[in-house]
Amino acid sequence: MMEKTPPDLILFVCEHGAAKSVIAAAYFNKLAGERNVNVRAIARGTNPDQKLSQKTIDGLARDGLKSDERKPQKLTDTDNESALQIISFCELPYEDQYKAPIEQWDDVPPVSENYEKARDTIIQRINQLLNTKFN
């Protein structure tokens, strides 16, 4: 029996690690899984909140998903060193020190204002990412 190789890692990073990156990681993992892409996403924050956004938790629950993250996690050097790609919704500290390519997704509206609009923008961007990089 062949051993399965561990999945590559995508980092979704937003300032508080509580909303956009959490939605993106949950949907990336769902959509990548449906396509049998051996890549896994995690959510991180540059300045993490104490807990996940309630709008995010409720929105994902309505969508039939839940976050793998129990609480926002700070972006670490280990995350940086193991990432295949970094998708950022915010300014990253020390951008020149990141090993993986960084893609900015600045066009995602705030989850606090409209979960569905933010989610739909994120899903559209994830599908583009999967179609171009993991086809």
Closest among 57, 46, 50 to 19, alpha carbons compared: 57
> What's the pLDDT score for residue 93?
79
DSSP state of 95: G
Average of per-residue pLDDT across 121-127: 98
| Residues shown for the chain | 135
Q: pLDDT tens digits, residue range 21-78?
A: 999 999 999 999 999 999 999 999 999 999 999 999 999 999 999 888 889 999 988 8
Average of per-residue pLDDT across 1-28: 88
Q: What is the largest CA-CA distance in the chain?
A: 49
Q: Which residues contact 14 (CB under 8 A, 6 or more apart)?
A: 20, 21, 43, 45, 46, 88, 89, 90
**Residue 17 — left, alpha, or beta (φ > 0 → left; ψ -120 to 50 → alpha)?**
left
Q: Which residues pair with 83 in a beta bridge?
A: 9
> What's the pLDDT score for residue 2?
53
Q: Which domains does the chain have, with CATH numbers?
A: 8-133 (3.40.50.2300)
Q: Which amino acid is at 77?
A: D
**Residue 130 — left, alpha, or beta (φ > 0 → left; ψ -120 to 50 → alpha)?**
alpha
> What's the pLDDT score for residue 98?
75
Q: For residue 1, is pLDDT > 70?
A: no
Q: pLDDT tens digits, residue range 70-114?
A: 899 999 888 888 899 999 999 887 766 778 899 999 999 999 999
> What's the pLDDT score for residue 100?
86
